[in-house]
Amino acid sequence: MKYIKRHMEEIVLSLSKSWSVILLTGPRQAGKTTMLKELAIREGVGRKYVSLDDLNMREMAKTDPKMFLELHKPPVLIDEVQYAPELFTYIKIHVDKHHNPGDFWLTGSQVFRLMRGIQESLAGRVALLHMSPLSQREIIDAECVPFTTSFDMLLEQSGKIKPVTTQAMFTRLWNGCMPGLVSRDFEGREVFYSSYLSTYVERDVRDLSGTVDALKFIRFITAAAARASQLLNYKAIADDADIDQITCKNWINILETLGIVFLIHPYSNNVLKRTVKTPKLYFYDTGLVCYLTRWSSPEVAENGAMSGALLENFTVSEIMKSYQNVGREPYIHFYRDRDAKEIDVIIEGDGKLCPLEIKKTAMPDKRLLRTFSIIDKSPLQLGTGAVLCMADKLSAFDRNNLIVPIWII
């Protein structure tokens, strides 16, 4: 089995020197356990491993958490800890008594349920990290750099990464970013995604929502995938899946809980009063979107009706991962108002708003920058903007507006 180096390795080891508990959340198959097992070998402290997917272990952790921790003494890696929130109180007792950095490495694939348990029991004692499937920089073994519109930073990075054609980019986008597929541990993309979905339907979705109609759920997630990069329209998705809007909202929440989708919320303030309130929907893995929406090859996806939406989804998810992989919270918004004026992405940081447009073209038109001036009304300063596109090299319209190839992100 080929191990793919993850950008989070350094931050986990670094936090482990000062925090007693590290909790790594993220979807199944994203590589959480594989990375932590690899790091456990490297640290050489004899860290034990136990998975709560094992029903016997889960039963003991739930019914006698004190005994469980006596049997599995720190330093320990506990996998899928969401199945036994009863452990958190006893972990807290241990941490408060011993104060040993790195005692507990925990993983979980259900973000919000875990957060509730953590906030009640381990607040202030746990370092929280989120791992997504592979970023394109991890796939090509490039360094981890949170995306920025700093020209000097982008220029330096552009010299380190090999340019990618539009066709090659869509091949990457279509293949997806699940470690099992990228490492070729699993042959057969169709079989992988089919079993991946049935695992969620049979196990995690049922676990979070009780009974679930498997066929309706597949119709639902397919309808959601068909609207990737769009404003989240619960009614349209519910109508396609033949479910009510309350169920649709619950299932979107479940997909978010499982780390399969994320929502980007609109930027607004007291001055910008005409902005829409609806978030936009994105998937962490565009390979899953292509599988669900039946694009049979990268070439068909590149030339199909969804090509712009797929590229936008890919780009936004890569920006998200670039921040998550260094343990930072990404402050990412979009802008759309009732006059249909739109900015695809706004990155907020250091008192500035940096507007981004995402386009499939290799030669973007300067007219794309027209909407950037809208956020000049914001109390925050307008930072360097950019068009993220399929250009073969980094360039600029002017000093304040860059042309950035998506392969640099």
Calculate the alpha carbon distances from 377 to 97, 149, 257, 371, 381 in Å. 53, 20, 35, 12, 9
As a whole-number percent, the residues of the chain with pLDDT over 90 amount to: 78
Do the Cβ atoms of 162 and 172 come closer than 8 Å? no
DSSP state string for 7-67 = TTHHHHHHHTTT-SEEEEE--TTSSHHHHHHHHHHHHTS--EEEETTSHHHHHHHHH-HHH
Query: Maximum Cα–Cα distance for the chain, whole Å?
Result: 66
Q: How confident is the model at residue 276 (pLDDT cuts 50, 70, 90)?
A: confident
Burial degree of 409 (CB within 10 A; 0-12, 13-18, 19+): buried
pLDDT, residue 140, reads 95
pLDDT 10s digits, 206-225:
887 777 888 899 999 999 99
Do the Cβ atoms of 312 and 173 come closer than 8 Å? no
pLDDT, residue 2, reads 79
Q: How confident is the model at residue 274 (pLDDT cuts 50, 70, 90)?
A: low
Calculate the alpha carbon distances from 202 to 20, 33, 210, 212, 237 in Å. 34, 21, 11, 9, 21
Cα–Cα distance measured from residue 38 to residue 40, given in angstroms and rounded to the nearest whole number? 5
Output DSSP code: residue 210: S
Q: How confident is the model at residue 121 (pLDDT cuts 50, 70, 90)?
A: confident
pLDDT, residue 270, reads 56
Q: What is the mean pLDDT of residues 183-201?
A: 86
Residue 128's nearest CA partner among 355, 329, 358, 345 is 329
pLDDT 10s digits, 335-381:
988 887 899 999 998 889 999 999 999 999 999 999 998 887 777 88
Q: How far apart are the first and last CA of the chain?
A: 28
pLDDT, residue 376, reads 78
| Residues contacting residue 15 through CB under 8 Å, at least 6 positions apart | 22, 127, 129, 327
Calculate the alpha carbon distances from 330 to 343, 358, 359 in Å. 17, 18, 21
Q: What is the mean pLDDT of residues 252-257?
A: 91
Q: What is the mean pLDDT of residues 310-336?
A: 95
| Residues contacting residue 358 through CB under 8 Å, at least 6 positions apart | 311, 312, 315, 316, 344, 345, 387, 388, 389, 406
- Secondary structure of 313-380 in HEC code, one letter for each residue: HHHHHHHHHHHHCCCCCCCEEEEEECCCCEEEEEEEECCEEEEEEECCCCCCCHHHHHHHHHHHHCCC
pLDDT, residue 118, reads 72
pLDDT 10s digits, 371-382:
998 887 777 889
pTM of the model: 0.93
Cα–Cα distance measured from residue 118 to residue 128, given in angstroms and rounded to the nearest whole number? 10
- E strands, 206-256, where? none
pLDDT, residue 337, reads 84
Does residue 192 surpass a pLDDT of 80? yes
The class (CATH top level) of 9-130 is alpha beta
Does residue 113 surpass a pLDDT of 70? no
Residue 327: which region, alpha, beta or left (left: phi > 0; alpha: psi -120 to 50)? Answer: left
Cross-strand pairs, 25: 108, 130
CATH 3.40.50.300 boundaries in the chain: 9-130
pLDDT, residue 109, reads 85
pLDDT, residue 187, reads 79
Q: How confident is the model at residue 119 (pLDDT cuts 50, 70, 90)?
A: low
